[in-house]
Amino acid sequence: ENEETNNANEIEEIVGIDPGSGTMDMAERTMDTYDLDINLRSSSEAAMVAELEEAIGNQEPIVVTFWEPHWAFNEYDLEFLEDPQEAMGQSENIHTMVREGLEDEDDSAYQLLDNFHWEIEDMNEVMLQAREDDVEFREAAAEWIESNRDEVDAWLEDIEPVENETIELAYVNWETETASTNVVALVLEELGYDVELTTVEMGVAFQSLADGDVDGMLIAWLPVGAASYYEQFEDEIVDLGPNLEGAQQGFVVPGYMDIDSIEDLQD
Ligand code: PBE
C-alpha cells in the first residue's frame, strides 16, 4: 500500500507556507525552472508542520517547502529533494539589515547588530528549548544567553550602554526569526534599550526598514530566498551581512517516500 501511495505520480501539490515569504517566491521560481505541473499551495509554518506531522502519522505521501535549521529535522526523518539545477542555491545565509542613518544616530545599537553572529547549532538550541520546555521564545533566548555568556560578551565588547533609548526590530513570525530576534532584543536590553518587536509580513518588514519606520531586522535569507525583496530595496537599506551561515531551503519529503529529486516530480 505504502509503495503505491509513495509514488511521485500521487503528488498533486506542494504544501507551502505564507504568501509573500521568501520561501514561496523561491518555490515558485524552482517550479518554473523544473517546469513542474503541480500546485503550490500556500499555508503557514505552523499549518504546514501540522499537515506534515499528520502525513507522517499515516505514512502518506507529502511534499512541503521547508528549511534548516528547524526542530522538525530533529524529530522526524526528513529529506531535502535533490536540486540538480541548483534553483534553490547551494546554501543560504541569514542577513542582518538596518535602516539608513542608524549608524550615525544610534551607534550602540548599530554596533551590536553588526556584531551579532551565531551558528546553526545556536539557533537550533533556542528553537528546541522553546519547544521541549514549552516556553516563550523570550525565555528560551534568555537561557541560551546564560549558557553562552562569553560569546554574548564578545558581541557587547566596547559598546557604550545607553539610557532612555528605544529601538524597534521587525521580524516575521517564523521560529528561526523569532529565535534570533529575541536573543538580540535581550542583548539590546542589556545595553539599556527599550526594545520594541513588531511582527509583520516579509514585504512589510523590508518596506518599513526602507521607510525608516523600524531600525533593524534579522530575517533576510540570501542569496536566494529573499532575493526579490533585496533587489527591490537594496538601495534604501543597509545590509550588515550574514548573522548565520549555512542554512538551507528546499522541497522536503519524509524519509519513507521513494522520491529523491525534484526531477522525480516532473511528468
Ligand atoms: N525562512 C524560514 C522562510 C520562512 C521561514 C526564513 C527561510 C522565508 O524567509 O521565507
In this structure, what CATH number is given to the domain that contains residue 141? 3.10.105.10
Q: What is the ipTM of this complex?
A: 0.93
CA 26 to chain centre: 13
User: For the chain, how long is the longest CA-to-CA vector?
Assistant: 65
Residue 195 sits in the same domain as residue 240 = yes
What is the C-alpha separation between 16 and 249, in angstroms, rounded? 12
**Structural domain containing residue 78:** 2-90+249-265
Pocket of ligand 1, candidates 172, 228, 243, 251: which has the most ligand atoms within 8 Å of its Cβ, to mutate?
172
pTM: 0.95
225 CA distance to ligand 1 middle (Å): 7
Residue 74 sits in the same domain as residue 173 = no
Residue 142 sits in the same domain as residue 213 = yes
243 CA distance to ligand 1 middle (Å): 15
Q: Ligand 1 atom 4: the closest Cα is on which residue?
A: 23
Per-residue pLDDT of the chain (267 residues; tens, 9 = 90+): 445 445 677 898 999 999 999 999 999 999 999 999 999 999 999 999 999 999 999 999 999 999 999 999 999 999 999 999 999 998 999 999 999 999 999 999 999 999 999 999 999 999 999 999 999 999 999 999 999 999 999 999 999 999 999 999 999 999 999 999 999 999 999 999 999 999 999 999 999 999 999 999 999 999 999 999 999 999 999 999 999 999 999 999 999 999 999 999 997
Residue 137 sits in the same domain as residue 190 = yes
Ligand 1 — pocket residues by CB below 6 A?
Answer: 17, 21-23, 67, 174, 176, 221, 225-226, 249
Pocket of ligand 1, candidates 48, 97, 221: which has the most ligand atoms within 8 Å of its Cβ, to mutate?
221
What is the C-alpha separation between 234 and 215, in angstroms, rounded? 15
Residue 180 sits in the same domain as residue 235 = yes
10 CA distance to ligand 1 middle (Å): 27
Residue 152 sits in the same domain as residue 162 = yes
Atom number, ligand 1, closest to the C-alpha of residue 67: 7
144 CA distance to ligand 1 middle (Å): 22
Residue 161 sits in the same domain as residue 193 = yes
Residue 207 sits in the same domain as residue 117 = yes
What is the C-alpha separation between 238 and 98, in angstroms, rounded? 5
What is the C-alpha separation between 6 and 157, in angstroms, rounded? 54
pLDDT confidence of residue 4: 46
Residue 152 sits in the same domain as residue 224 = yes
40 CA distance to ligand 1 middle (Å): 16
pLDDT confidence of residue 7: 66
pLDDT confidence of residue 249: 96
pLDDT confidence of residue 267: 79
Residue 67 sits in the same domain as residue 111 = no
Residue 24 sits in the same domain as residue 86 = yes
In this structure, what CATH number is given to the domain that contains residue 55? 3.40.190.100
What is the C-alpha separation between 138 and 247, in angstroms, rounded? 22
- CA distances to 58, 128, 220, 232 from 6, rounded to whole Å, are 12, 30, 34, 40
Q: Ligand 1 atom 1: the closest Cα is on which residue?
A: 23
174 CA distance to ligand 1 middle (Å): 7
Q: Ligand 1 atom 9: the closest Cα is on which residue?
A: 22
127 CA distance to ligand 1 middle (Å): 14
Number of structural domains (the chain) is 2
Residue 15 sits in the same domain as residue 147 = no
